[in-house]
Amino acid sequence: MSNEVLIIGGGIAGIQSSLDLADMGIKVHLVEKLPSIGGKMAQLDKTFPTNDCAI
């Protein structure tokens, strides 16, 4: 029996899941294929409809 979770993909969805679980006190392994996490959202300049900065 394990009480850890594996998350595959370090984009905005993977980051959010990781933080939610980690804040619950659950140990998380976040695996990302690319050298840095951030995913597609990190490539965005601003987000709609508020024009907030994406990073």
Q: How far is the CB of 31 from another protein (least distance, A)?
A: 5
Distance CA 51, CA 22 (A): 29
Distance CA 6, CA 21 (A): 10
Residue span 7-46 as binding mask against another protein, x where in contact by CB under 8 A, dash where not: xxxxxxxxxxxxxxxxxxxxxxxxxxxxxxxxxxxxxxxx
**Binding residue count for another protein, defined by CB under 8 A:** 52
Q: How far is the CB of 52 from another protein (least distance, A)?
A: 10
CB-based burial of residue 42 (10 Å sphere; 0-12 exposed, 13-18 middle, 19+ buried)? Answer: middle
Binding site for another protein (CB under 8 A): 1-51, 55
